[in-house]
Amino acid sequence: MKKIYMDHNATTPVHPEVFEEMLPFLKDEWGNPSSIHWAARAPRKAIDDAREKVCAFLNCSPVEVIFTSCGSESDNLAIKGVALAKKSKGNHIITTRVEHPAVLNTCKYLEKEGFDVTYLDVDSEGLLSLDRLREAITPKTILITIMYVNNETGVIFPIGDIGKIAKERDITFHTDAVQAAGKLPLDVKSLNCDLLSISGHKLYAPKGVGALYAKRGVRLVPLIHGGHHERNRRGGTENVAGIAGLGRAVEVAARDMEKENERLKKLRDRLHKGLVERVPHVKLNGHPEKRVANTLNISFEFVEGESLLLNLDMLGVAASSGSACTSGSLEPSHVLLALGLTPEVSHGSVRFSMGKSNTEEDIDYILEKMPPIVERMRSMSPLWDEAAKKGGAIAFEKKSC
Amino acid sequence: MYSDKVMDHFTNPRNVGEVPDADGVGTVGNPACGDIMKLTIKVEGGVIKDVKFKTFGCGAAIATSSMVTELVKGKSLEEAEKISNATVAEALDGLPPVKMHCSNLAADALHSAIEDYKRRVAG
């Protein structure tokens, strides 16, 4: 069966160059990098080299990089670490309604622990108002945490401008750049951020490795207490192979990014245009321009996303959806609801996120297969009947699930 | 994550559509939650002669709708009333736990259609 992977915002395959870089540390160079003897030398050097590469990628210095186990850990360490370190100065945190759960649920946890959190709204295209952000700041605000790129829609937030606002008010600023890494330049100086999270497996490194940039002078209470690893900010013997892989991955990303973005944007826009031409009642979710090149989030009204994904999967196409049915919860995507989509339209969203493996043939294949799938599912949908009769969407009473 | 039977009913759903001049119509679910089912029945001599469904929902919602139509076609109203959401899920060799509550509404739609039929007869 044909296999097309269009879920790169969920995870990416390990790049062959990354794989090669990791191999020695899964085979012969198994030493503990903290040891004093011969077995430690190559692993220690691998970590140092990887740190240098991540520094080049982020434009920072080696003492400012903390290797972690994943993007979620980086987010947790940044947010809880700063909140705890600064709790004598204030208890107010500002974030947005469209963050990844790693940020949202960390903030919700801190609310239970006595912190106040402001969740900023976005507009119908998924954009933030910087005026609202300024208004939300209080003398008690200790942390602003706002994502660089939205994982569901691909919308880009103006992190440099947000960082400037934070700096003017002397507030620590963290950005979850997990979806931006490899898609946008990540210069922490021009982004004006104090902390920045990245994850390996979103940029062709393996799962199980991430990093947090923490500007010199930013105090963090560790999540994992232990040995002296990562300058006492993250205990635990290092994931040497993963870290070596991440180092190689950021090099490859920086090298290939510009060309790859150009290519992916063409593919993405071709898919979007083709779907709009072939399928009625589709709607792009997120700002059409202020968006990373690889992401297309599109709603097919009157049908449910999971059933579309199952049909696509049977034809070998891997994508994802903002439908509740794919997330294990009953509520549809909090991101799409925040954009003002009705729950039923949110349920009908599909996210195609492109990457290195995708080609024009992939797009043509989806453009051929998708219209009959939507048509068939609509022919079974009572909402489609109603809409056809009335010439528009029907209103249902609003209740929670 | 779905059983072969679920995938079979999802891929080749039975009795899709609406019974013309239905004797009973049952609509349950909430599109906000991602599921809405509409079941129409034709009743003759206390027996469900025909039944069809239309569903907006996930794989489980479509498969349970399809399965319930198979289970009740030709059954008496009394027999049909005994069919529960659990019966439907069982007939499909089970559903993933998360789907048991959100998308397992087909028997509710059936009971709602039977109630509608009884109201019409009484009315």
What the block records as the tokens of A26 is 């899964």
Kindly indicate whether the ipTM for this predicted assembly is greater than 0.85, answering yes or no: yes
Contact B32 A398 (CB under 8 A): yes
pLDDT value at position B104?
83
Q: What are residue B56's DSSP bridge partners?
A: B36
Query: What CATH number has the domain bearing residue A321?
Result: 3.90.1150.10
The reply to whether A330 and A211 lie within a common domain is: no
| Chain B CA closest to residue A329 | B98
pLDDT value at position A324?
59
As a whole number, mean pLDDT of residues B9-20 equals: 97
Mutate to test the interface with B, among A281, A309, A310 (most CBs of B within 10 A): A310
Handedness of CA B106, B112, B116, B122 (dihedral sign): positive
The reply to whether A39 and A179 lie within a common domain is: yes
Instruction: Give B-chain residues touching A323 at CB under 8 angstroms.
Output: 34, 58
Domain for residue A29, yes or no? yes
pTM of the model: 0.94
The reply to whether A209 and A318 lie within a common domain is: no
- pLDDT class of A335 with cuts at 50, 70, 90: very high
The reply to whether A247 and A261 lie within a common domain is: no
**Last residue of a domain, which of A236, A253, A270?**
A253
Contact A330 B102 (CB under 8 A): yes
pLDDT value at position A387?
79
As a whole number, mean pLDDT of residues A379-384 equals: 93
The angle at the Cα of A265, spanning A264 to A269, to the nearest 5 degrees, equals 120
Domain for residue A303, yes or no? yes
Q: Which of A304, A324, A332 sits opposite B56 (nearest CB)?
A: A304
- Does residue A315 have a pLDDT over 70? yes
Instruction: Give B-chain residues touching A324 at CB under 8 angstroms.
Output: 33-34, 102
C-alpha R_g of chain B: 13
pLDDT digits (tens, 9 = 90+) for A27-81: 999 999 999 999 999 999 999 999 999 999 999 999 999 999 999 999 999 999 9
CA A365, CA A39: separation in Å to the nearest integer?
51
Q: What are residue B38's DSSP bridge partners?
A: B27, B54
How close is the nearest chain A Cα to the Cα of B81, in Å?
A: 23
pLDDT value at position B63?
96
pLDDT value at position A400?
59
Q: Decide if A101 contacts A76 (C-beta within 8 A).
A: no
The reply to whether A291 and A249 lie within a common domain is: no
CA distances from A297 to A287, A293, A305, A349 (A): 10, 12, 11, 7
Task: Count the Cβ atoms, other than its own, within 10 Å of residue A245.
Answer: 31
Average pLDDT, chain A: 95
Query: Counting one residue from A and one from B, how many pairs have CB atoms under 8 Å apart?
Result: 88
Query: What CATH number has the domain bearing residue A151?
Result: 3.40.640.10
The reply to whether A144 and A224 lie within a common domain is: yes
The percentage of residues in chain A with a pLDDT greater than 90, rounded to a whole number, is 91
pLDDT digits (tens, 9 = 90+) for B51-97: 999 999 999 999 999 999 999 999 999 999 999 999 999 999 999 98
Q: How many domains would you assign to chain A?
A: 2
Domain for residue A326, yes or no? yes
Q: Decide if B53 contacts B113 (C-beta within 8 A).
A: no
The reply to whether A156 and A57 lie within a common domain is: yes
**Last residue of a domain, which of A192, A227, A253?**
A253
The reply to whether A101 and A231 lie within a common domain is: yes
Residues with Cβ within 8 Å of residue B122, at least 6 apart in sequence:
none
For residue A261, give its domain range.
4-9+257-374
- Does residue A401 have a pLDDT over 70? no
How close is the nearest chain A Cα to the Cα of B80, in Å?
A: 23
Q: Answer with the residue of higher pLDDT: A337 or A329.
A: A337
Name all domains of chain B by residue range, CATH numbers in brackets. 4-122 (3.90.1010.10)
The reply to whether A93 and A212 lie within a common domain is: yes
Helix (H, G, I), strand (E, B) or coil at B37: strand
The reply to whether A49 and A158 lie within a common domain is: yes
CA A64, CA A327: separation in Å to the nearest integer?
35
Contact B34 A324 (CB under 8 A): yes
The reply to whether A107 and A180 lie within a common domain is: yes
- Does residue A213 have a pLDDT over 70? yes
How close is the nearest chain B Cα to the Cα of A58, in Å?
A: 40
